[in-house]
């Protein structure tokens, strides 16, 4: 576990070095690393539960959503929380029911062909007003992965809270870099890294594969492509960053080979209907 933690912290350091807090965007195509990272939330079954995952806050056509994997949605209930914060500052928690019209239970929308769920949020008791600036505009969610990215060395960055790290003592989501292994592929009745069968409950699901495995706790978190490595500019990478997908998990076999499985981001928009 220690080497994984150190590697993730190293990428976090690079992002923090690149962040441009306190400076205004020159135009709407530029986004700071702070804005990316502060849209990421930890989803908790309950306030002190160890059952956690990652989600991302997205705004689309003036509608506000919490996006995550379906299997992370499954741990939520009327006692669930999201944890969020500002980089290197205290983390705070918000009950999910304070962000929805229905005060009893979150009413998620789930994709029928993907490990993907979204929760439409409302301004119940005006709690949403306090975090609206954290929502990532949907224009930063990629509709598809360009073919040109498949056969080169571009890096993709998973952002979230593996093993529960990244919210204490200060808010600081972790980063894991990998390279793309495929464009859209179907995975059905696959085994996870523990050898459990039928990970996706019999669904034939659309995924993107990354060359390296994910880590528990990253599930539901976004994967970004920025066209380059992190650097000391205000920009996340060398081009406008895009979320290419949402982490589903890790697939492997008896040989020990493992790859991360990612739900393509364009499927999110199948669920943003009124």
The answer to whether residue 23 scores a pLDDT higher than 60 is: no
Phi, psi of 272 (to 5 degrees): -95, 25
What is the reported pTM? 0.82
- Distance, in Å, from the CA atom of 15 to the CA atom of 158, rounded to the nearest integer, reads 12
The answer to whether residue 6 scores a pLDDT higher than 60 is: no
Residue 272, number of CB atoms within 10 A of its CB: 16
Q: According to the CATH classification, is domain 147-268 in 2.40.10.10?
A: yes
* Concatenated DSSP letters of 123-134: -GGGTGGGTGGG
The answer to whether residue 7 scores a pLDDT higher than 50 is: no
**pLDDT at residue 31, as a whole number:** 77
CATH architecture classification, 34-139: Beta Barrel (2.40)
Helix (H, G, I), strand (E, B) or coil at 84: strand
**pLDDT at residue 166, as a whole number:** 92
- Every domain of the chain with CATH number 2.40.10.10 lies at 34-139, 147-268
- Distance, in Å, from the CA atom of 99 to the CA atom of 125, rounded to the nearest integer, reads 8
Cβ-based neighbours of 236, under 8 Å, separated by 6 or more: 18, 31, 32, 33, 36, 224, 226, 230
- Distance, in Å, from the CA atom of 12 to the CA atom of 6, rounded to the nearest integer, reads 10
**pLDDT at residue 17, as a whole number:** 33
């Amino acid at each position: 576990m220690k080497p994984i933690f150190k590697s993730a912290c190293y990428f976090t350091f690079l992002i923090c070095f690149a962040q441009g807090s306190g400076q205004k965007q020159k135009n709407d195509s530029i986004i700071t690393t702070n804005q990316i990272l502060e849209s990421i939330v930890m989803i908790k079954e309950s306030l002190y539960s160890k059952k956690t995952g990652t989600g991302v806050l997205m705004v689309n056509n003036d509608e506000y959503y919490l996006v995550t994997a379906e299997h992370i949605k499954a741990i939520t209930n009327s006692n669930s929380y999201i944890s969020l914060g500002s980089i290197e500052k205290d983390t705070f928690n918000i009950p999910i029911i304070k962000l929805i019209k229905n005060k009893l239970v979150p009413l998620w929308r789930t994709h029928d062909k993907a490990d993907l769920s979204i929760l439409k949020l409302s301004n119940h008791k005006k709690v949403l007003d306090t975090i609206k600036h954290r929502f990532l505009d949907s224009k930063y969610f990629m509709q598809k992965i360009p073919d040109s990215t498949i056969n080169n060395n571009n890096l993709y960055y998973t952002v979230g809270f593996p093993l529960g790290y990244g919210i204490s003592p200060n808010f600081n989501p972790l980063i894991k870099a990998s390279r793309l292994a495929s464009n859209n592929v179907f995975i059905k009745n696959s085994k996870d890294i523990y050898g459990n069968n039928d990970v996706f409950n019999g669904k034939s699901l659309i995924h993107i594969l990354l060359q390296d495995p994910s880590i528990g706790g990253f599930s539901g978190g976004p994967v970004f492509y920025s066209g380059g490595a992190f650097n000391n500019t205000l920009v996340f990478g060398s081009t406008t960053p895009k979320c290419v997908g949402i982490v589903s998990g890790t697939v492997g076999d008896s040989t020990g080979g493992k790859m991360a499985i990612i739900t393509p981001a364009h499927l999110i928009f199948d669920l943003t209907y009124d």
